[in-house]
Copies of this chain bind each other. A is one copy, B any other.
């Protein structure tokens, strides 16, 4: 059964005469005639009665028409979907990310990205960075965003490094300084990430190097929580200047010395070629992490 036969059959059923069907399909009447003859021969159905040089569809033709039309639509749909995929209007995007990114950065970027993409399916999974790393290894995600260091590095990894800054409640005396060092924070109540976090370790070294007393009054899991506590005056803290930016509204932000490095990476599956969709979104994500 050939597609052209079905097309001719549909046009003929819809327009009654071969002459007219031929016009609409942009072909000659004998062309339609032979197509229909072929279809009748191959299906073994008498689709039209020839009465007085005219065609009359048989009941069998009407039954078959339903399926023929459905089949043609399915093929035409496949064709349309191909065009959608090619132009990037259709696809899916499965992203695994750790909470700060997932809550703050992704919704904004994705809603921007999804404009003009009516058939885009988005999936976001939020896990801590270690789990994100495992998920990307299972190849079930197109992209992942995790904090460094990872237990073992992935081959497709794009790293973004930030120098953390000191955050202070608005009107805090130290806000007058242009740059803040551990000496300035000697004994000052301090909000930090948990003990296991690289940030914690870097801070501990920094204070000990400067011989200053690090007065930790709170440990939190995320920067966002730390920001909240600082805003409420529990102490000062340290924060990355890009990803956590939305949480630092109304806080004073000052450069911190020595450098406390915070690293984030975009991860891609290794064994799988990235989809065009994923590549396009990765560009946007890169910009978002750079800004």
Contacts and interface: CB of A to CB of B under 8 A. Distances in A.
Interface of A: 1-3, 6, 43-45, 49, 56, 58-60, 63-64, 67-68, 70-71, 73-75, 77-79, 81-83, 85-86, 90-92, 142, 272-278
Contacts of A83: 43-44
Contacts of A63: 81, 85, 90-92
A38 to B, nearest CB: 13
10 contacts: A1-B75, A2-B3, A3-B75, A45-B85, A59-B91, A59-B274, A59-B275, A60-B85, A60-B91, A63-B92
Given A3-B2, A276-B60, A278-B59, A78 B67 contact: yes
B81 A64 contact: yes
A59 B272 contact: yes
Contacts of A86: 43-45, 60
Nearest to A6: B78
A273 B49 contact: yes
A64 B85 contact: yes
A253 to B, nearest CB: 40
Given A58-B273, A59-B273, A59-B277, A78 B82 contact: no
